[in-house]
Structure 1
Amino acid sequence: MKQIRTGTAFCMAIVMVLVMAACSNNTGQAENAATAGADFRVVKSEKGEIKIPTNPTKVIGLSVVYPEFLQALGVTPIAVQNYHTDLPTYLREPLKDTLKMGIAETPNFEMILAAEPDLILAPVWWSDKDYDQLSGIAPTVLLPQRDDWRDELKDIGEVLGKKEIAEKVIQDLAAQEAEAKRKLDDLVGNETVLYMMVMPNSLLLYGDQIDRGKFIHTTLGLETIPNLPKDPSLSISLENLPEYNPDHLIIQLNNEDNAEIKQTYKDMLDSPLWKNMNAVKKNQVYLMSGKDWFNVGMSPLANRYAIDSVLQAFEGNSK
Structure 2
Amino acid sequence: MRHKWKIGLIIMVLLLVGTACGAVNNKGEGTAPGSETPASSSNATDPTASPSSPTTRIVKSEKGEIEIPAEPKRVIGLSVVYPEFLYALGVTPVAVQNYHEEFQSYLEQPFKDTIKMGIAKTPNFEMILDSEPDLILAPAWWSEKDYDQLSAIAPTVLLPQRDDWRDELRDIGEVLGKQDAAKKVIEDLKNKEAKAKARLDELVKDETVLYLRIMDNGIIINGPNIDRGNFIHNQLGLKPVENYPQNESTLTVSLEVLPEYDADHIIVQLDDETKAELQDKYAHILNSSLWKNMKAVKANHVYMVGGKEWFNLGMAPLADSYAIDEVVSIFENKQQ
Q: What is the TM-score normalised by the length of structure 1?
A: 0.90
**Partner residue of 2:251 out of 209, 234, 242:** 234
Q: Is the 8 A contact 1:56 1:118 kept in 2?
A: yes
Q: Is the 8 A contact 1:206 1:232 kept in 2?
A: yes
Counterpart of 2:59 in structure 1 is: 43
Counterpart of 2:329 in structure 1 is: 312
**Partner residue of 2:143 out of 119, 124, 127:** 127
Aligned length: 301
**Counterpart amino acid of residue 79 in structure 1:** A
Counterpart of 1:219 in structure 2 is: 235
Separation in structure 1 between the aligned mates of residue 181 and residue 215 of structure 2, nearest angstrom: 37
Residues 1:183 and 2:195 are matched in the alignment: no
- Post-superposition offset of 1:281: 1.0
**Map of 1:1-319 to 2, 5 A cutoff?**
26-27=43-44, 33-34=50-51, 36-200=52-216, 202-230=218-246, 231-319=248-336
Separation in structure 1 between the aligned mates of residue 233 and residue 45 of structure 2, nearest angstrom: 62
**CA-to-partner distance for each residue in 1:32-73, whole Å, 9 max, x for gaps?**
844x42211111111111111111110000000000000000
Counterpart of 1:9 in structure 2 is: none
- Post-superposition offset of 1:260: 1.8
CA distance 1:28–1:186, change in 2 (3 Å): farther
**CA-to-partner distance for each residue in 1:188-231, whole Å, 9 max, x for gaps?**
00100000011236210010111000000000000000111231
Q: Is the 8 A contact 1:202 1:235 kept in 2?
A: yes
Larger Rg: 1
Separation in structure 1 between the aligned mates of residue 218 and residue 122 of structure 2, nearest angstrom: 29
Q: What is the TM-score normalised by the length of structure 2?
A: 0.86
- Post-superposition offset of 1:26: 3.1
Separation in structure 2 between the aligned mates of residue 276 and residue 264 of structure 1, nearest angstrom: 18
**CA-to-partner distance for each residue in 1:62-103, whole Å, 9 max, x for gaps?**
000000000000100000000111111111111011000000
Tell me the secondary structure at the aligned position of residue 219 of structure 2. strand
- Post-superposition offset of 1:27: 2.5
Q: What RMSD over aligned residues (CA atoms) do the two structures have, in Å?
A: 2.0
**Counterpart amino acid of residue 276 in structure 2:** A
Q: Is the 8 A contact 1:57 1:118 kept in 2?
A: yes
Tell me the secondary structure at the aligned position of residue 252 of structure 1. strand
- Post-superposition offset of 1:24: 6.5
**Counterpart amino acid of residue 124 in structure 1:** A
Separation in structure 1 between the aligned mates of residue 234 and residue 219 of structure 2, nearest angstrom: 22
Q: 5+ residue gaps in structure 1?
A: 1-16
- Post-superposition offset of 1:28: 6.9
**Counterpart amino acid of residue 40 in structure 1:** T
Q: Is the 8 A contact 1:255 1:291 kept in 2?
A: yes
CA distance 1:28–1:130, change in 2 (3 Å): farther
Separation in structure 2 between the aligned mates of residue 67 and residue 234 of structure 1, nearest angstrom: 29
**Counterpart amino acid of residue 196 in structure 1:** L
Separation in structure 1 between the aligned mates of residue 154 and residue 148 of structure 2, nearest angstrom: 10
Separation in structure 2 between the aligned mates of residue 29 and residue 220 of structure 1, nearest angstrom: 63
CA distance 1:196–1:28, change in 2 (3 Å): farther
Q: Is the 8 A contact 1:201 1:261 kept in 2?
A: no
**Counterpart amino acid of residue 197 in structure 2:** K
CA distance 1:96–1:196, change in 2 (3 Å): same
Separation in structure 1 between the aligned mates of residue 202 and residue 53 of structure 2, nearest angstrom: 56
Tell me the secondary structure at the aligned position of residue 239 of structure 1. coil
Percent same amino acid at aligned positions?
61
Q: Is the 8 A contact 1:73 1:162 kept in 2?
A: yes
Separation in structure 1 between the aligned mates of residue 40 and residue 271 of structure 2, nearest angstrom: 70
**Counterpart amino acid of residue 136 in structure 1:** A
Counterpart of 1:7 in structure 2 is: none
**Counterpart amino acid of residue 122 in structure 1:** A
